Structure 1
Amino acid sequence: MKKIIVLGALFSLVACGEASKKEVVVKEEVKIVNGDTTITRKTEAVDAEKTGEAQKEVNIRIVGPKEFEHIAADENGNMIDVRTAGEFAEGHLENAKNLDITNGDFQAAMETMDKSETVMVYCKSGGRSARARQMLEAAGFENIVEMEGGYMNYLRVQEANSNQ
Protein backbone atom coordinates (compact mmCIF):
# COMPACT_ATOMS: atom_id res chain seq x y z
CA MET A 1 0.00 0.00 0.00
CA LYS A 2 1.25 3.48 -0.67
CA LYS A 3 -0.29 6.83 0.05
CA ILE A 4 0.61 10.13 -1.50
CA ILE A 5 -0.37 13.37 0.18
CA VAL A 6 0.24 16.68 -1.54
CA LEU A 7 -0.09 19.76 0.62
CA GLY A 8 0.08 23.41 -0.44
CA ALA A 9 1.02 26.25 1.91
CA LEU A 10 1.23 29.98 1.21
CA PHE A 11 3.87 32.33 2.52
CA SER A 12 5.48 35.65 1.54
CA LEU A 13 9.09 36.41 0.70
CA VAL A 14 10.83 39.77 0.51
CA ALA A 15 13.30 40.05 -2.36
CA CYS A 16 15.33 43.14 -3.28
CA GLY A 17 13.26 45.25 -0.88
CA GLU A 18 10.07 44.42 -2.77
CA ALA A 19 7.48 41.95 -1.48
CA SER A 20 6.54 39.24 -3.93
CA LYS A 21 4.03 36.51 -3.26
CA LYS A 22 5.39 33.00 -3.45
CA GLU A 23 3.78 29.66 -2.83
CA VAL A 24 5.52 26.61 -1.51
CA VAL A 25 4.20 23.24 -2.54
CA VAL A 26 5.10 20.46 -0.15
CA LYS A 27 4.65 16.98 -1.53
CA GLU A 28 4.81 14.14 0.91
CA GLU A 29 4.74 10.51 -0.15
CA VAL A 30 4.08 7.93 2.50
CA LYS A 31 4.62 4.28 1.63
CA ILE A 32 3.79 1.53 4.06
CA VAL A 33 4.92 -1.95 3.06
CA ASN A 34 4.87 -4.82 5.55
CA GLY A 35 4.83 -2.40 8.47
CA ASP A 36 7.89 -0.43 7.29
CA THR A 37 7.19 3.26 6.65
CA THR A 38 9.18 5.43 4.22
CA ILE A 39 8.45 9.16 3.98
CA THR A 40 9.80 11.28 1.13
CA ARG A 41 9.28 15.07 1.09
CA LYS A 42 9.81 17.51 -1.77
CA THR A 43 9.29 21.27 -1.71
CA GLU A 44 9.12 23.65 -4.62
CA ALA A 45 8.50 27.39 -4.82
CA VAL A 46 5.98 28.73 -7.30
CA ASP A 47 5.38 32.37 -8.20
CA ALA A 48 1.73 32.90 -7.22
CA GLU A 49 1.43 35.97 -9.42
CA LYS A 50 2.34 33.94 -12.51
CA THR A 51 0.04 31.04 -11.69
CA GLY A 52 -2.85 33.41 -10.98
CA GLU A 53 -4.42 30.98 -8.51
CA ALA A 54 -3.91 30.09 -4.90
CA GLN A 55 -2.54 26.61 -4.34
CA LYS A 56 -5.16 24.23 -2.95
CA GLU A 57 -4.53 21.34 -0.64
CA VAL A 58 -4.67 18.13 -2.64
CA ASN A 59 -5.07 14.70 -1.09
CA ILE A 60 -4.03 11.84 -3.35
CA ARG A 61 -4.15 8.32 -1.97
CA ILE A 62 -3.01 5.22 -3.82
CA VAL A 63 -4.27 2.34 -1.75
CA GLY A 64 -4.81 -1.40 -1.80
CA PRO A 65 -8.23 -3.00 -2.31
CA LYS A 66 -9.07 -3.28 1.40
CA GLU A 67 -8.31 0.38 2.05
CA PHE A 68 -10.21 1.34 -1.12
CA GLU A 69 -13.31 -0.45 0.20
CA HIS A 70 -12.97 1.27 3.60
CA ILE A 71 -12.67 4.69 1.98
CA ALA A 72 -15.67 3.97 -0.26
CA ALA A 73 -17.71 3.03 2.81
CA ASP A 74 -16.56 6.02 4.91
CA GLU A 75 -16.55 8.86 2.38
CA ASN A 76 -19.22 10.15 0.06
CA GLY A 77 -17.94 10.50 -3.45
CA ASN A 78 -17.82 9.11 -6.93
CA MET A 79 -16.46 5.60 -7.50
CA ILE A 80 -15.45 5.32 -11.13
CA ASP A 81 -14.44 2.22 -13.06
CA VAL A 82 -12.51 3.53 -16.08
CA ARG A 83 -12.53 0.22 -17.98
CA THR A 84 -14.54 -0.50 -21.12
CA ALA A 85 -18.25 -1.37 -20.92
CA GLY A 86 -17.42 -5.00 -21.76
CA GLU A 87 -14.91 -5.27 -18.92
CA PHE A 88 -17.36 -3.57 -16.55
CA ALA A 89 -20.09 -6.08 -17.51
CA GLU A 90 -17.80 -8.98 -16.52
CA GLY A 91 -17.68 -7.70 -12.95
CA HIS A 92 -17.19 -4.49 -10.98
CA LEU A 93 -17.31 -3.04 -7.50
CA GLU A 94 -20.70 -2.25 -6.01
CA ASN A 95 -21.80 1.38 -6.58
CA ALA A 96 -19.16 1.97 -9.28
CA LYS A 97 -20.02 4.04 -12.34
CA ASN A 98 -18.53 2.95 -15.64
CA LEU A 99 -16.83 5.89 -17.36
CA ASP A 100 -14.52 4.49 -20.03
CA ILE A 101 -11.30 6.48 -20.21
CA THR A 102 -10.54 5.25 -23.74
CA ASN A 103 -13.68 6.59 -25.43
CA GLY A 104 -14.00 10.03 -23.80
CA ASP A 105 -16.75 9.18 -21.26
CA PHE A 106 -14.42 9.84 -18.33
CA GLN A 107 -13.13 13.12 -19.73
CA ALA A 108 -16.67 14.41 -20.38
CA ALA A 109 -17.86 13.42 -16.90
CA MET A 110 -14.88 15.16 -15.24
CA GLU A 111 -16.23 18.50 -16.46
CA THR A 112 -19.48 18.05 -14.50
CA MET A 113 -18.10 16.60 -11.24
CA ASP A 114 -17.59 18.61 -8.06
CA LYS A 115 -13.82 19.02 -7.64
CA SER A 116 -14.05 19.07 -3.85
CA GLU A 117 -15.77 15.65 -3.61
CA THR A 118 -13.80 12.43 -3.25
CA VAL A 119 -13.22 10.65 -6.57
CA MET A 120 -12.23 6.98 -6.38
CA VAL A 121 -10.88 5.37 -9.56
CA TYR A 122 -9.88 1.88 -10.61
CA CYS A 123 -9.35 -0.11 -13.80
CA LYS A 124 -8.26 -3.65 -14.64
CA SER A 125 -4.64 -3.61 -13.44
CA GLY A 126 -3.70 -0.01 -12.61
CA GLY A 127 -2.51 1.63 -15.83
CA ARG A 128 -5.68 3.41 -16.90
CA SER A 129 -6.58 4.41 -13.34
CA ALA A 130 -3.12 5.99 -12.92
CA ARG A 131 -3.80 8.00 -16.08
CA ALA A 132 -7.24 8.96 -14.71
CA ARG A 133 -5.69 10.01 -11.38
CA GLN A 134 -3.19 12.24 -13.18
CA MET A 135 -5.98 13.80 -15.27
CA LEU A 136 -8.05 14.47 -12.15
CA GLU A 137 -5.06 16.05 -10.42
CA ALA A 138 -4.30 18.27 -13.43
CA ALA A 139 -7.96 19.33 -13.60
CA GLY A 140 -7.85 20.53 -9.98
CA PHE A 141 -9.65 17.77 -8.10
CA GLU A 142 -8.83 17.91 -4.39
CA ASN A 143 -9.42 14.38 -3.06
CA ILE A 144 -8.43 11.47 -5.32
CA VAL A 145 -8.20 7.79 -4.41
CA GLU A 146 -6.75 5.19 -6.78
CA MET A 147 -6.91 1.43 -6.18
CA GLU A 148 -3.44 0.00 -6.67
CA GLY A 149 -3.41 -3.02 -8.99
CA GLY A 150 -6.97 -2.46 -10.16
CA TYR A 151 -9.87 -4.89 -10.27
CA MET A 152 -7.55 -7.89 -10.80
CA ASN A 153 -5.81 -7.09 -7.51
CA TYR A 154 -9.21 -6.68 -5.84
CA LEU A 155 -10.24 -10.16 -7.03
CA ARG A 156 -6.92 -11.67 -5.82
CA VAL A 157 -7.42 -10.16 -2.36
CA GLN A 158 -11.05 -11.36 -2.23
CA GLU A 159 -9.94 -14.89 -3.20
CA ALA A 160 -7.14 -14.90 -0.63
CA ASN A 161 -9.59 -13.77 2.07
CA SER A 162 -12.09 -16.48 1.17
CA ASN A 163 -9.37 -19.17 1.38
CA GLN A 164 -8.47 -18.22 4.96
Structure 2
Amino acid sequence: MIRIIYFLFILSGCATTSQNDAVETIDAEKLIELQDNGVKVVDVRTAKEFAQGHIPGAINIDFYASDFVERMKTFKNDESIIIHCEVGGRSGKASKILEKESFSKIYDYTGGYKDWKMKGFEIER
Protein backbone atom coordinates (compact mmCIF):
# COMPACT_ATOMS: atom_id res chain seq x y z
CA MET A 1 0.00 0.00 0.00
CA ILE A 2 2.83 2.40 0.83
CA ARG A 3 4.45 1.61 -2.52
CA ILE A 4 1.23 2.51 -4.35
CA ILE A 5 0.92 5.81 -2.50
CA TYR A 6 4.59 6.56 -3.17
CA PHE A 7 4.13 5.70 -6.87
CA LEU A 8 1.09 8.00 -7.14
CA PHE A 9 2.99 10.77 -5.37
CA ILE A 10 5.87 10.45 -7.85
CA LEU A 11 3.46 10.47 -10.81
CA SER A 12 1.71 13.62 -9.61
CA GLY A 13 5.08 15.31 -9.19
CA CYS A 14 6.09 14.42 -12.73
CA ALA A 15 2.88 15.83 -14.13
CA THR A 16 3.38 19.08 -12.27
CA THR A 17 6.95 19.61 -13.41
CA SER A 18 6.11 19.04 -17.07
CA GLN A 19 3.59 21.89 -17.25
CA ASN A 20 4.70 25.05 -19.01
CA ASP A 21 3.72 28.40 -17.57
CA ALA A 22 4.19 30.29 -20.85
CA VAL A 23 0.42 30.64 -21.49
CA GLU A 24 -1.96 32.20 -18.99
CA THR A 25 -5.65 32.77 -19.70
CA ILE A 26 -6.95 36.17 -18.65
CA ASP A 27 -10.18 38.18 -18.54
CA ALA A 28 -10.91 41.71 -19.79
CA GLU A 29 -10.00 43.38 -16.52
CA LYS A 30 -6.59 41.69 -16.44
CA LEU A 31 -6.04 42.69 -20.09
CA ILE A 32 -6.61 46.34 -19.16
CA GLU A 33 -4.19 46.07 -16.24
CA LEU A 34 -1.50 44.44 -18.38
CA GLN A 35 -1.98 46.86 -21.27
CA ASP A 36 -1.70 49.78 -18.82
CA ASN A 37 1.66 48.30 -17.82
CA GLY A 38 2.93 48.25 -21.41
CA VAL A 39 2.03 44.72 -22.53
CA LYS A 40 1.12 44.73 -26.22
CA VAL A 41 -2.25 43.38 -27.40
CA VAL A 42 -2.29 41.29 -30.59
CA ASP A 43 -5.64 40.72 -32.29
CA VAL A 44 -5.36 37.55 -34.41
CA ARG A 45 -8.64 38.06 -36.28
CA THR A 46 -8.73 38.86 -40.00
CA ALA A 47 -8.13 42.41 -41.24
CA LYS A 48 -11.84 42.65 -42.13
CA GLU A 49 -12.90 41.69 -38.59
CA PHE A 50 -10.32 44.07 -37.12
CA ALA A 51 -11.59 46.96 -39.26
CA GLN A 52 -15.13 46.43 -37.93
CA GLY A 53 -13.89 47.19 -34.42
CA HIS A 54 -11.06 46.26 -32.08
CA ILE A 55 -9.60 46.80 -28.63
CA PRO A 56 -7.85 50.20 -28.49
CA GLY A 57 -4.13 49.91 -29.12
CA ALA A 58 -4.34 46.36 -30.49
CA ILE A 59 -2.06 45.25 -33.31
CA ASN A 60 -3.65 43.08 -36.01
CA ILE A 61 -1.75 39.97 -37.06
CA ASP A 62 -4.09 37.56 -38.85
CA PHE A 63 -3.80 34.01 -37.51
CA TYR A 64 -4.79 32.61 -40.91
CA ALA A 65 -2.10 34.56 -42.81
CA SER A 66 0.75 32.49 -44.19
CA ASP A 67 3.26 34.81 -42.51
CA PHE A 68 1.62 34.72 -39.04
CA VAL A 69 4.60 33.17 -37.25
CA GLU A 70 7.09 35.43 -39.04
CA ARG A 71 5.12 38.54 -38.11
CA MET A 72 4.88 37.39 -34.49
CA LYS A 73 8.66 37.00 -34.43
CA THR A 74 8.90 40.80 -34.63
CA PHE A 75 8.28 40.56 -30.88
CA LYS A 76 11.09 39.37 -28.64
CA ASN A 77 10.58 35.86 -27.24
CA ASP A 78 10.92 37.15 -23.69
CA GLU A 79 8.43 39.99 -24.27
CA SER A 80 5.00 39.48 -22.69
CA ILE A 81 2.13 39.67 -25.18
CA ILE A 82 -1.65 39.42 -25.00
CA ILE A 83 -3.35 37.38 -27.73
CA HIS A 84 -7.07 37.54 -28.52
CA CYS A 85 -9.54 36.83 -31.29
CA GLU A 86 -13.35 36.92 -31.51
CA VAL A 87 -14.23 34.33 -28.85
CA GLY A 88 -11.06 32.43 -27.94
CA GLY A 89 -10.58 29.68 -30.53
CA ARG A 90 -7.90 31.22 -32.70
CA SER A 91 -6.15 32.87 -29.76
CA GLY A 92 -5.85 29.48 -28.05
CA LYS A 93 -4.31 27.95 -31.18
CA ALA A 94 -2.05 30.97 -31.68
CA SER A 95 -0.88 30.77 -28.06
CA LYS A 96 0.13 27.13 -28.52
CA ILE A 97 2.07 27.98 -31.67
CA LEU A 98 3.87 30.84 -29.94
CA GLU A 99 4.69 28.62 -26.99
CA LYS A 100 6.32 26.16 -29.43
CA GLU A 101 8.24 29.11 -30.92
CA SER A 102 9.71 29.72 -27.43
CA PHE A 103 7.72 32.80 -26.45
CA SER A 104 8.03 32.92 -22.68
CA LYS A 105 4.89 34.82 -21.55
CA ILE A 106 1.64 34.73 -23.50
CA TYR A 107 -1.62 36.00 -22.08
CA ASP A 108 -4.64 34.50 -23.85
CA TYR A 109 -7.75 36.67 -23.50
CA THR A 110 -10.20 33.83 -23.98
CA GLY A 111 -13.33 35.99 -23.96
CA GLY A 112 -12.09 37.81 -27.00
CA TYR A 113 -13.49 40.81 -28.78
CA LYS A 114 -17.05 39.57 -28.33
CA ASP A 115 -16.65 39.59 -24.52
CA TRP A 116 -14.90 42.99 -24.64
CA LYS A 117 -17.74 44.52 -26.65
CA MET A 118 -20.44 42.85 -24.52
CA LYS A 119 -18.89 44.37 -21.37
CA GLY A 120 -19.17 47.82 -22.93
CA PHE A 121 -15.48 48.65 -23.05
CA GLU A 122 -14.21 51.19 -25.55
CA ILE A 123 -13.59 50.01 -29.10
CA GLU A 124 -11.70 51.53 -32.02
CA ARG A 125 -12.62 51.36 -35.69
TM over 0.5: yes
Map of 1:102 onto structure 2: 64
Higher relative contact order (CA 8 A, sep 6+): 2
One-letter code aligned to 2:24: R
**Where does residue 84 of structure 1 map in the other structure?**
46
Contact 2:61/2:72, CA 8 A, preserved across alignment: no
Q: Note the aligned Cα RMSD (angstroms).
A: 2.1
Work out whether residues 99 and 105 of structure 1, in 8 Å CA contact, stay in contact via their aligned partners in 2. no
Aligned letter for 1:62? T
TM-score normalised to the size of structure 2? 0.76
After TM superposition, give the deviation of residue 58 of structure 1 in Å.
Answer: 4.1
Q: Distance in 1 between matches of 2:81 and 2:93?
A: 14
CA-to-aligned-CA distance 1:110-145 (integer Å, 9 cap, x gap) = 233200101111001100000111011111011111
From 94, 111, 120, the counterpart of 1:149? 111
1:10 matched to which residue of 2? none
- The equivalent of 1:128 in structure 2 is 90
Instruction: Give the counterpart of 1:61 among 7, 24, 38.
Output: 24
Judging changes above 3 Å, is the alpha-carbon distance between structure 1 residues 77 and 71 closer, same or farther for their aligned structure 2 residues?
A: closer
TM-score (ref. length: structure 1): 0.59
**Residues 91, 105 of structure 1: CA spacing in aligned structure 2 closer, same or farther, 3 A cutoff?**
farther
Report % sequence identity. Answer: 30
Q: Which has the higher helix share?
A: 2
After the TM superposition, list the runs of 4 or more consecutive aligned residues in structure 1 that deviate by more than 3 angstroms: none
More strand by share: 1
Offset at residue 151 of structure 1 (A)? 0.4
Greater Cα radius of gyration, structure 1 or 2: 1
Shift of 1:66: 1.2
- Contact kept, 8 Å, 1:58 with 1:141, in 2: the verdict is no
Aligned residues: 108
Structure 1 segments unaligned to the other structure (5+ residues): 1-25, 28-40, 45-56, 160-164
- Summarize the alignment of residues 17-32 of structure 1 with structure 2, pairs less than 5 Å apart: none
